[in-house]
């Protein structure tokens, strides 16, 4: 594992004598690391802390952890995970045949499209085997994780995002993962999710790949506040295509341009094609090269981060805990862009696996869509639209390409064997903002140099600085200056308990934080007046 030079210097100069390091706490530490959750792990953790080992020795053992050889090298493995909503969902992991448990291995998280469908992919293993990005990544020596989502567990809701995070941590617990070489990528909804994670939850990742996605989907469909400048912290490789029926280049170009002008680190390419990954043969070598050139910078000296909620306030060693209302600082400006929604959307999920002639409706999308207005129901089979016979989803797409927002339309469906005629109209084109703005955001600009951290804040009441031994000389006081005032000046004491708790939460050996510095800029009492 690549370690920061200062980290090793501290470890060598201050190493604990070998006799002092020995003890029963090492067995307790092994129990802590092997257990997933539960009271046994908590008891073992308490035993380790009570033994009082030096934090440097504990860190060394965490970094030197050994891993077993999985029995599925070179093969896709289907597993099940109980998500935070109590529902068990499938996922796939692929470990390359070249995997050596003594060597740190990159990890790629691949997210599928169509995540808002009611049903999960019927054959996850086949999906993974046939995905060219998965195949290329495995051939390049990466471990690949494929979560599978659905309505209620999408890439931009609490359940689906937690699912992704849990699977990354499982991979890190079971395999020797290179913490700074973890990446995320996907197509369509998977690409939109990559944009989202770059803006709200980038800490696990070195870079993102967004293929034929929409930067605003996580905000619009997930009801999340997102901020383009946050993509300055983690680069994105983005591709759109000229004839994409959902997100064509001409429609997405203004969003990427706005983000780049706001400071986002986006390598953007426009290619011929529709809403498919037909350009994979020529693009995959470029994507893999991009990922290889963009490992995570775990401890960047500069961080700029914006959020409206504490759930998405963390970027590397900075965490925003509370945002308040009020006038923003002059340098805190909003970056957004207005768009026109003129897409033809009926508002239902179809059964992609159905072999019936027509389009089988699996569920109706919630909200004010034409489907609910005309009375379309689950299990209806759409067989005609404006007199055009529909034998498949491809036929439906052809019909949609010939109508516009505001047009009247007529559908004929088979409902329990009876033909039913449904008349309606498509909504007029609507203006909307790329990112939702329903709550005020706070923003921090942070600079770490030596034992000093300089902060510029806007609408921030409380934050914390995470302390890593490669950032500071822990024998000397650390100084934090916020908006010109010294808000902290003291020696920071490393804590074994804190380090282990953070490690168990993140499973990140590269970022073994040993303490945190809480900074309160506006008290609860003052903000309530």
Over residues 251-262, the pLDDT tens digits come to: 999 999 999 999
Considering only CA atoms, which of 493, 499, 496, 489 is closest in space to residue 451? 489
Q: Higher-confidence residue: 20 or 454?
A: 454
Tokens of 470: 């490669």
User: If pLDDT is split at 50, 70 and 90, which confidence band does 401 have?
Assistant: confident
Section 497-510 average pLDDT:
96
Which residues, including other chains, have CB under 8 Å from residue 374's CB and lie 6 or more apart?
411, 422, 423, 424
Q: Is residue 113 exposed (0-12), middle (13-18) or buried (19+ Cβ within 10 Å)?
A: buried
Query: Which of 275, 297, 259, 83 is CA-nearest to residue 190?
Result: 275
Query: Cβ atoms within 10 A of the Cβ of 272, count?
Result: 10
Query: Facing residues of 270 across strands?
Result: 240
Mean pLDDT value of segment 47-71:
92
Nearest partner of 52 among 473, 469, 497, 474, judged by Cα: 497
- DSSP state at residue 16: P
- DSSP state letter for 38: S
- Find, among 334, 234, 303, the residue nearest to 455 by Cα: 303
152, 84 contact by CB (below 8 A)? no
For residue 392, give the nearest of 358, 425, 362 by alpha carbon: 358
The residue with greater pLDDT, 397 or 248, is: 248
Residue bearing tokens 């201050």: 14
DSSP string over 421-488: EEEEEPPPPEEEESS--SS--EEEEEEEETTEEEEEEESEEEEEEEE-TTTS-TTS-EEEEETTEEEE
DSSP bridge pairs for 95: 73
Segment 475-502, tens digit of pLDDT? 999 999 999 999 999 999 999 999 999 9
Q: 431, 396, 397, 430: which is closest to 413 by C-alpha?
A: 396
Task: Report how far residue 178's alpha carbon sits from residue 508's, in angstroms, rounded to the nearest whole number.
Answer: 9
Residue-wise pLDDT for 231-252, tens only, equals: 999 999 999 999 988 899 999 9
Contact 240, 150 (CB under 8 A): no
In 3-state terms, what secondary structure has residue 71? Answer: coil
Q: How many CB atoms lie within 10 A of CB 306?
A: 27
pLDDT of 198 > 50? The answer is: yes
Across 68-74, average pLDDT: 86
Paired tokens of 344: 């033809």
Nearest to residue 466, comparing CAs of 478, 457, 458? 478
Residue 23 has what pLDDT? 63
SS3 of residue 40 by DSSP:
helix
Q: Is 340 exposed, middle or buried (0-12, 13-18, 19+ CB in 10 A)?
A: exposed
pLDDT attached to residue 26: 92
Q: What is the pLDDT of residue 527?
A: 52
Which pTM does this prediction carry?
A: 0.86
CB-CB neighbours of 222 under 10 Å: 22
| pLDDT > 90? residue 24 | no
pLDDT higher than threshold 70 for residue 394:
yes
Average pLDDT taken over every residue of the chain:
92
For range 64-72, the mean pLDDT: 88
Question: In this model, does residue 352 exceed pLDDT 80?
Answer: no
Reported confidence tier of residue 17, pLDDT bands at 50, 70, 90: very low
H/E run at residue 211: strand 207-211
pLDDT bracket for residue 70 (50, 70, 90): confident
Q: Which residues partner with 446 through β-bridges?
A: 303, 455
User: pLDDT by residue (tens digit) across 90-114?
Assistant: 999 999 999 999 999 999 999 999 9
Residue 526 pLDDT: 54
Mapped onto helix, strand or coil, the DSSP state of residue 277 is coil
- pLDDT, residue 341, reads 78
What distance lies between CA 458 and its chain's CA centroid? Answer: 25
Count CA within 13 A, CB hemisphere, residue 386: 15
């Amino acid at each position: 594992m690549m370690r920061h030079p200062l980290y090793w210097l501290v470890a060598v100069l201050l190493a604990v004598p070998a006799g002092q390091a020995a003890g029963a706490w090492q067995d307790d530490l092994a129990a802590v690391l092997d257990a997933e959750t539960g009271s046994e792990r908590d008891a073992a953790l308490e035993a380790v802390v009570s033994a009082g080992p030096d934090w440097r020795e504990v860190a060394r053992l965490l970094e030197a952890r050994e891993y077993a050889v999985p029995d599925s090298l070179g093969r896709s493995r289907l597993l099940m995970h109980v998500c935070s909503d109590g529902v068990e969902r499938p996922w796939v992991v692929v470990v390359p045949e070249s995997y050596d448990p003594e060597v740190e291995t990159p990890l790629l998280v691949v997210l599928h499209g169509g995540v808002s469908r009611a049903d999960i992919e019927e054959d996850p293993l086949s999906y993974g085997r046939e995905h060219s990005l998965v195949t290329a990544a495995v051939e390049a020596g990466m471990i690949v994780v494929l979560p599978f989502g659905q309505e209620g567990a999408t890439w931009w809701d609490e359940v689906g995002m937690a699912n992704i995070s849990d699977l990354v941590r499982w991979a890190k617990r079971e395999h020797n993962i290179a913490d700074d070489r973890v990446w995320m990528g996907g197509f369509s909804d998977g690409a939109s999710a990559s944009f989202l994670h770059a803006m709200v939850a980038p800490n696990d990742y070195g870079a993102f790949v967004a293929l034929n996605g929409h930067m605003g989907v996580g905000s619009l469909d997930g009801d999340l506040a997102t901020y383009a400048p946050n993509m300055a912290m983690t680069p994105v490789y983005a591709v759109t295509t000229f004839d994409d029926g959902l997100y064509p280049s001409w429609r997405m170009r203004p969003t990427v341009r706005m983000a780049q002008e706001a400071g986002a680190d986006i390598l953007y390419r426009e290619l011929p094609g529709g809403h498919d990954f037909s350009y994979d043969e020529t693009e995959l070598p470029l994507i893999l090269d991009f990922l290889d050139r963009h490992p995570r910078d775990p401890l960047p000296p500069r961080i700029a981060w914006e959020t409206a909620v504490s759930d998405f306030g963390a970027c590397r060693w900075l965490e925003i805990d509370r945002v308040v209302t009020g006038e923003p600082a002059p340098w805190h400006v909003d970056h957004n862009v207005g768009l026109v929604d003129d897409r033809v959307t009926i508002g239902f999920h179809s059964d992609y696996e159905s072999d019936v002639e027509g389009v089988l409706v699996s569920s109706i999308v919630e909200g004010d869509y034409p489907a609910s207005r005309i009375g379309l129901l689950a299990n209806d089979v759409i067989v005609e639209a404006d007199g055009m016979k529909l034998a498949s989803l491809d036929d439906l797409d052809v019909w949609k390409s010939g109508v516009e927002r505001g047009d009247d339309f007529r559908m004929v469906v088979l409902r329990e064997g009876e033909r039913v005629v449904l008349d309606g109209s498509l909504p007029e084109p609507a203006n909307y903002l790329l990112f939702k703005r329903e709550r005020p955001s706070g923003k921090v600009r942070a600079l770490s140099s030596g034992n000093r951290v300089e902060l510029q804040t806007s609408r921030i009441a409380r934050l914390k600085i995470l302390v890593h031994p490669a950032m500071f000389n822990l024998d000397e006081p650390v100084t934090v200056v916020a908006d010109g005032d010294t808000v902290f000046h003291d020696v920071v004491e490393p804590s074994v308990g804190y380090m282990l708790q953070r490690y168990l939460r993140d499973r990140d050996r590269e970022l073994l934080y040993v303490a945190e510095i809480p900074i309160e800029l506006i008290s609860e009492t003052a903000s309530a007046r």
